[in-house]
Chain A
Amino acid sequence: MSKNTFVMPLGPVHVALEEPVYFRLEVEGETIRNVDLTSGHVHRGMEALAQQRNLVKNVTLTERVCSLCSNSHSFTYCMAVENALGMSIPPRARYLRVLAEEIKRVASHLFNTAIQAHIIGFKSLFMHVMEVREIIQDVKETVYGNRMNLASNCLGGVKCDVDPKLLEYILSQIGKMEPQVEEIRDIYNTNHNVVTRTKGIGLLPKEDAIRLGVVGPVARGSGVMNDVRKESPYAAYPELEFKSIIKDGCDVHTRTQVRLDEIFESFGLIRQCCERMPEGPVTCAMNPIPVTQATARSEAPRGEVFYYIRTNGSETPERLKWRVPSYMNWESLGVMMRDCAVADVALITNSIDPCVSCTER
């Protein structure tokens, strides 16, 4: 630390931070020269809990790792168990899993985009995005009975079938929402206040993105192609048409563009699921539990979710470990914030769509 720099603490409880995390900023005037991060304030010891519950109960537990990515956790956990037990889920369940996942992705990306407007101080835009997001929240509530944890996944398939009437309802709501999100995307791409605050800040060059192994829109906004849905197809994704959004702007603005463009791909996936939903059962029978180990991964709204399970023949896993997307993305803040202004810390932090509760588990 040079004699011109001084330490500025930010957090763990701060008005600009949604969840507790402590930043130790070394600043020179208004410019950040170094960042150190301390977390652990909401550590829940969930991995220890998972080793005390049976495979079925852990579906409920893993859905509570995160709120916005809740479905991705139970989804990937179920896939890990199904891989361990050698189960193959029915076609209808594969489509229903994608349907729930993409509905959650739309809600998650819109939430992050809204928070960006809130941090910028563009309150009317924040409220507008949240209002449009209510349409997809209503879809969740109407179809699954809940606005956050859908409780849709179970071992071997899905718990709730979605009848044709509800599929029609989803399609009509998506039709209502799409032009409104188009308008929002246009505002984020062209509005002077938004563009001035987000363009050229929080830079994460491609080589740093690769070096730090970042995932999700953070990687794809720095030109790194990393989308599990394309790379390691699962559920119904191999049968559906969609693009992976990849851009090379490397800044806050680009990461927002990636998320907004991805919403339209999700709309397309939701439509295809509703229109091509095969008939048939939504679950398969469980197989005996062997002594084995297995892995599964999926593309959550924030990026790759990775699960590893070891079974010992009993109904309780010997070890269950998962790695959330934010876990890989936090360290990139050190690169993004270097030489940026103190006033941009919250904006840059939001651009990785961080989740403290799932990072610490």
Chain B
Amino acid sequence: MHDIIRGNSTIIEGIEPLCAHGGSVRHTSDSFGNAYHWFQIDTPHELLQAADILHSQGSRLAMITAYNRHSDTGPMQALCYQFVLEGVVYSVTVPLDEKHPQVPSITPLFNNADWHEREMMELYGIKIVNQPNPRRLFLDEELDKGLLGELVPLSIMMNGASSQDLWERILQGKESR
């Protein structure tokens, strides 16, 4: 394990205060010494401030991931924004809940956020405020939003699940011939 974890001090010192009230900060490295900085900001309101700091330092947006969080109080989601600058990965996690159900768009700052935001809107039903291009990305308009947020058993999801009905129809067709 490497003792010194590299990172841009303006970014780290700028985002840390945004995680001070319920958020968290973690610094890790992998077996090759590559640095990863993990920030969980307090609320979605701080996202634009964090994105602004990352943008001012010349970071590149690499990926945004939406995921469901387990909770007894109802559906909760989170978004993990990942940026790269000089080989160091900065991850900013934004928790979403009933009190803070939506997140501002960062596409005006990072143009390449457009596809990521549109994809999580259609797959996870994430509400994004001020998205400049809120069209479907991959899925047809007829499909419901937030499909990946639903519990669909693998057996139902796979075509083979229709086997009972399907084989009965095939047998019927065969018998009628």
Which residues on A are within 8 Å of B, measured CB to CB?
A: 39-40, 43, 45, 47-49, 52, 79, 82-83, 87-89, 210-213, 226, 231-234, 238, 293-297, 304, 306, 308, 310, 318-319, 321-323, 327-328, 330-331, 360
Contacts and interface: CB of A to CB of B under 8 A. Distances in A.
Contacts of A213: 60-62, 110-112
B112 A308 contact: no
B154 interface: yes
Given A48-B148, A232-B34, A331 B65 contact: no
Contact of A40 (B33, B91, B112, B137): B137
B105 to A, nearest CB: 16
14 contacts: A43-B139, A45-B157, A89-B31, A210-B60, A234-B32, A293-B38, A295-B89, A297-B89, A308-B63, A310-B67, A321-B65, A322-B63, A330-B115, A331-B112
B114 A318 contact: no
A238 B32 contact: yes
Given A233-B32, A297-B62, A319-B67, A40 B111 contact: no
Contact residues of B: prevailing secondary structure = mixed
Contacts of A319: 65, 67-68
Given A47-B148, A233-B34, A308-B80, A328 B138 contact: no
A74 B10 CA distance: 35
Contacts of A294: 36
Interface of B: 30-34, 36, 38, 60-63, 65, 67-68, 80, 82, 84, 86-89, 91, 110-112, 114-116, 136-140, 148, 152, 154, 157
A360 B139 CA distance: 10
Contact of B114 (A83, A306, A331): A331
Contacts, number: 91
Q: Kindly name the residue among B30, B84, B86, B91 whose own CB sees the greatest number of chain A CB atoms within 10 A.
A: B30
A282 to B, nearest CB: 16
A39 B138 contact: yes
Given A47-B148, A318-B67, A321-B63, 17 more contacts: A40-B137, A43-B138, A79-B30, A88-B31, A89-B31, A213-B60, A213-B110, A213-B111, A231-B87, A232-B32, A232-B87, A306-B62, A308-B80, A322-B63, A323-B62, A331-B112, A331-B114
A304 B33 CA distance: 18
